[in-house]
Amino acid sequence: MRVVVTGATGTIGRSLVSALQARGEEVVALSRDAGRARSALGDGVEPYAWPNPMAEPPPEAALAGADAVVHLLGEQIAQRWTDEAKEAIRESRVRSTRALVEGLVALPPGDRPRTIVSQSAVGFYGPRGDEKLDEDAPAGSDFLAGVVVAWEHEALAAVDSGIRVVVTRTGVVLSPSGGALAKMLPFFRLGIGGPVAGGRQYVPWVHLDDVVGAMLFCVGRPEATGPVNLTAPDPVTNAELSKALGRVLKRPAFLPVPGLAVKSLYGEMAEIVITGQRAVPAVLERLGYGFRHPDLEAALRDVLGRA
């Protein structure tokens, strides 16, 4: 199987490429800099330059004859949301996805990939308290929800050309090399970590192995279509996450972090930290995906090498 991966040099992309190679698949990496992609991913990957993903489709040679595309490209969300950052967050997702679909649709039907798995986010649902959110829950109304709705719309446009589209609404990915956990670790290792803004908000966590595993599962299962929540089966509150991380690191984890402090650091972006979503993977469970790391503390121990 030939699989095209955008965003292949990111945290999720690198793990996905490794998993595809371990299965003996042919991997094509689309990157702004093909040489950098080859250096980062090794000689076993076929890199193609996509220098301006927000303005032009990828090269036809990269897409033609592929079986599937996994689209992971997008500006980092975990940053202070200035006006410029918000524009980059939105445009890097919406316009790159539009350009990708335009490139796929322009191919002769026999050369088009059969499947796109397009990265999305549980931010689709917006702040919803302790409401349990499966894939049928409606969209929220905040900035990030608006971004995700537009992002998914561009990906789902490929359905009209006979391409199966899966949009993976990914939660908080547990990985020591990037994302929320990497930002939390220094404080918890010093014994000054704890629940944020009272800790009652839910964290839709998921181990990186299950992000990759579920994406590959969606590539291979024709029944997987439309939105798929990519989260562990049991979301926990921020307070429960803090306690579990403290136990794994053998450090105290009771020092509260006021919501005002998070807002001072991150501005508007802090809302996604102090509100959260109780998203559950109803579609993955219905289709029979077997989670490798369904338990939070065991997942943290695996990620941090504290088994």
pLDDT digits (tens, 9 = 90+) for 51-93: 999 999 999 999 999 999 999 999 988 888 899 999 999 999 9
Look at residue 177 in the predicted model and tell me its pLDDT. 81
Number of domains in the chain: 1
pLDDT digits (tens, 9 = 90+) for 19-47: 999 999 999 999 999 999 999 999 899 99
pLDDT at 243 over 90: yes
Mean pLDDT of 94-119: 97
- With respect to residue 20, please indicate whether it lies within any of the assigned structural domains: yes
The residue segments making up the domain with residue 222 are 2-171+206-231
* Residue 265 confidence class, pLDDT cut points 50, 70, 90: low
Look at residue 267 in the predicted model and tell me its pLDDT. 78
- With respect to residue 95, please indicate whether it lies within any of the assigned structural domains: yes
Rg from Cα positions in the chain: 19
- With respect to residue 297, please indicate whether it lies within any of the assigned structural domains: no
- With respect to residue 148, please indicate whether it lies within any of the assigned structural domains: yes
The model's pTM is 0.95
- With respect to residue 120, please indicate whether it lies within any of the assigned structural domains: yes
Mean pLDDT of 245-268: 79
- With respect to residue 188, please indicate whether it lies within any of the assigned structural domains: no
- With respect to residue 40, please indicate whether it lies within any of the assigned structural domains: yes
- With respect to residue 200, please indicate whether it lies within any of the assigned structural domains: no
Q: What is the CATH number of the domain that holds 131?
A: 3.40.50.720
